[in-house]
Chain A
């Protein structure tokens, strides 16, 4: 069974600094997708970034980038130039690439941004 582990329940970062959130996963599949979602206090989950397992290049979206290590089954999120609006719960998620794309989520990391 697929599992997703986020070992950092809470993280904090100074505004304008960089922070890295960790995620590991377990799967026997070779083709899959990985995601980072942000859930602010308003509750709506927002997609931050996604990575296809077959792509070696790490995904980037503006200030957000990932370090995808397929062999190590590691998928960390780096937030550069942190802003107050980045404060939220961050969930790492895994999905297989075939129909029935159930998402498996980690337990989340609560990020605090200190002014």
Chain B
């Protein structure tokens, strides 16, 4: 166990809907990153938050957005869901740059 939790475990949505995924970071970690892991692929970086500010973004459209709260929990929001958004979404927390990231168990999102 890494101390990082995510909710929900599984989620089924319809194309065009909006979804919010949640992550609770390991205690004391001020940086959280979100990844999308399609079936059979490695995780792809969506964005990172550091002290409640977006601190880096991968090649994902603006309909992927996030929030980080003062208690370092965070959310990933995806608007106008598309079928290709079906994936495992992982969050990972860390203390500072250059250190290892601690991953949560992920949320499996299915878009129908």
Contacts and interface: CB of A to CB of B under 8 A. Distances in A.
A76 interface: no
Given A33-B98, A95-B98, A102-B33, A44 B43 contact: no
A42 B101 contact: no
Contacts of B100: 33, 35, 47, 50
Interface in B38-93: 40-45, 48, 50, 55-56, 58, 88, 90, 92
A: contact size bracket = 20 to 34
Nearest to B46: A102
A33 B45 CA distance: 16
Interface in B12-54: 31, 33, 35, 40-45, 48, 50
A50 B102 CA distance: 13
Contacts of A46: 2, 103
B42 A100 contact: no
B103 to A, nearest CB: 4
A105 B105 CA distance: 17
